[in-house]
Structure 1
Amino acid sequence: MKKMIVTLAASIMAIAMASAGEAQERIKVGGIIYARDSQYWQQAERGMNDAAKKLGVDLQIGLNRRQLATEGQLIEDFATRGVNIIVMPPLDTQASGAAAQRVKSRNIMIVDYDTRFADSTISSHTIGVDSRELAGVVGKEMRKLIVASKSESAAAVGLITLPPTNPNMQARRGGVVSALEGANVAYVAEVAAATPEQGANAFENILQRNPATAMIWASNSGSLSGAAAAARRSNAKAKLYGIDMSQELAQMLLDPSSNLQAVSDQQPYLIGYTAVETAVKSFRGEKLARQINVPARLYTREDPKAVTEYLDFVKSLSN
């Protein structure tokens, strides 16, 4: 009996030691998002959490609140807490690199998503949607309508681009222009905007230059929602296309009276999920591509089922 008790005690101790070892070896990931004030970052966070749960890793989420100083402090705090990996969207392609480089020198893996560091040696992997492709997807939808019209007159098109300082400005503009190349198009105006208020002003500016404008493309969710609101107030006929889906834009796609026709989306849930998944698999030794592109997703008023499914998913984020 005494021997049995000793054996049982030794077995319990061995199991406890093994469990402690497993706990020590559990991968710790520090994930950064901008804030929880937009559906984009809410979806990205959900994706990160779902990936961490599936892969059995510990995930801590921090908010940089769109401040470089806060971002730098978050990176340092994660390092102090002993994370193995930091998954982050650099606020500034240049300035964000210093803090990330410091913790990388302490053998912490860095993976960037949404935006990338100017110095590509800082991160092990980059996850995101190609901005040119993102704009091109909705640009092709515009082109289909222009070609189908078989009009001898050029379609008057206005562009609401991102401000020139935004790193995605040129890529997105280039994507939509490339998609429309060869179509019977006349560009009537190009106005920079990023917020709903700026988008509304840009829409009105374009129509003042040419009241017969047939189509207006906007390069982000904020400017697109502002343009759509302005279109409703003015009873303008210009059809709207743009980038980055939101609950508000989805509801507009389902509204027969709205001017909104199509929106290309970055799939932020999938970006967040893929960022954590890639980081953890790479940390565990799996060989993965340096650059991992998430495909853009197109939502149109012709496919209300997909739009409704998107709305159901967004509503689930609050549960």
Structure 2
Amino acid sequence: MRHFKSAKMVLVWAIVAVLALSLVACGGSKNEGTQTGGSSSTQTEQKSSKPAKITVAGVVFQEDQFMKLLQKGYQDAAKAAGVECLVSNTNNDQAKETELINTYVAQKVSGLAIAPLSADASVATLKKADEQGMKIAVSNINLNNAPFIVGGYTSDNKELGRRTGQEAVKFIQEKLGGKAKIAILQFKSLLPEQSGDRTSGFLEEVKKLPGVEIVADQDAWLQDKAVQVAGDIITAHPDVNIIWAANEGGTIGATMAVQNAGKAGKIFTFGTDASEQLVAMLKDPANILQAVTGQDPYTMGYKTMETLIKAIKGEDVSSTKGKCITVPGVVLSRSNPDGIAKFEADLKAKMGK
């Protein structure tokens, strides 16, 4: 009897042991499943916390080299930040600018880097875009009535004109006996604020010489138009001996007009902006173009886009918010060939040539 009870007890303990092992096994399986489920949950959280894709736009308003460099600055800054960048050109059309801005808002583009056409007409559309959630940064213009922009980079247009005027003053004193009859080509009907600032800076310098007379002041900012307008000025004022243009197209056109009129050595040109074609004209033995003051559109575009992306990512842009920062320009003069060579090499590097 005692033996039977002992056997019975052994059997009971064996059953208990088996049940215990089963529970442990089930518990282990349950824990394993929980761990697997937890891993899947973590992966889902990681996927959901991955930064959303950022798309920005970069807008310019002409097809000249200045605007191409500005646009390349936009693109390179976006590429460096791993951001998709859409690019477009308003072609000096205010209605097209408005349409493009509204299109980007509708496409939910995160931010816009733009060279606006007007300090007044462009602001209302840009402000509306900002109110609809698109960050705005500007280039090539000084907007003092747009506190909503995350930043802006531009040139000091009056200083650009003034520095070219200083080069002209030296030339007039050294080569023309302190006397000159000057014609001016502007772009005031396109961008009145910028054109006016450049022209006033230039005039402030050259008018310091009592022997200076302004014989013509007309609009012509595109190359072909400037050739025609400058040619007409040369015909109407045969005693003109200096032509200053406020932008690249005007400077190229004026220089070509002098060449076409057979006035090389009698009429000399000065201008604003810098490009490969203007560098070639500064090196041309025909000796027509004497000096230009160039901007730095690549840096302008790069800094604008860089600031825009920082704002989109929620980084601190308080130092640039509502402000337009001046990017220094450079004087290129026929009298300083080393400076021209350095600028030319830097320009080719930025253009990938």
**Comparing 71-80 with 118-127, which one deviates more in the overlay?**
118-127
Instruction: Tell me by how many angstroms 1:279 deviates.
Output: 2.3
Deviation of 1:173 (Å): 1.1
Q: Structure 1: 5+ residue runs without aligned partners?
A: none
- Number of residues of Structure 1 aligned to a counterpart in Structure 2: 316
Partner of 1:23, secondary structure, is coil
Is 2:186 the partner of 1:161? Answer: yes
- What corresponds to 2:296 in structure 1? 267
Considering only CA atoms, is the larger Rg found in Structure 1 or Structure 2?
2
Deviation at 1:257, TM superposition (A): 1.4
Q: Say if 2:348 is the partner of 1:317.
A: no
TM-fit CA distance, 1:305: 4.3
Residue aligned with 2:50, SS? helix
Distance 1:98 1:286, change over 3 A: closer
2:328 to 268, 289, 295: 295
1:169, CA displacement in angstroms? 2.6
Indicate yes or no: 2:46 matched with 1:18.
Answer: yes
Question: How far, CA to CA, are the matches of 2:291 and 2:70 in structure 1?
Answer: 22
Deviation, structure 1 residue 224: 1.3
The alpha carbon displacement at 1:318 in A equals: 6.6
8 Å Cα contact 1:113/1:271 also seen in 2:
yes
Q: Deviations over 1:85-134 (max 9, x none)?
A: 21112234333334322221123222222235584245343321121111
Please say if residues 239 and 261 of structure 1, whose CA atoms lie closer than 8 Å, have aligned partners that are also in contact: yes
Cα contact 1:191–1:202 (8 A) shared by 2? no
Distance 2:143 2:317 in 1: 23
Measured after TM superposition, the shift of residue 38 of structure 1 is 2.0
Letter in 2 for 1:140: Q
Pair 1:297–1:195, CA change in 2 (3 A) = same
1:32/1:88 contact within 8 Å kept: yes
Is 1:96 aligned to residue 122 of structure 2?
Answer: yes
CA RMSD of aligned residues (A): 3.1
In the TM superposition, what is the alpha-carbon distance from 1:4 to its structure 2 partner? 8.6
* AA matched with 2:56: V
Structure 2 residue runs without a partner (length 5+):
1-27
1:102-251 to 2 correspondences below 5 Å: 102-116=128-142, 119-149=145-175, 151=177, 154-164=179-189, 166-167=191-192, 168-192=194-218, 193-236=220-263, 237-251=266-280
Distance change >3 Å, CA 6–CA 73, structure 1 → 2 = farther
- Normalising by structure 2, we get a TM-score of 0.77
- Give the match for residue 285 of structure 1: 316
The 8 Å contact of residues 32 and 89 in structure 1, kept in 2 or not, is answered as yes
In structure 2, give the amino acid aligned to 1:31. G
Stretch moving more, 123-132 or 268-277: 123-132
Normalising by structure 1, report the TM-score: 0.84
Displacement after TM superposition at 1:309 (Å): 4.9
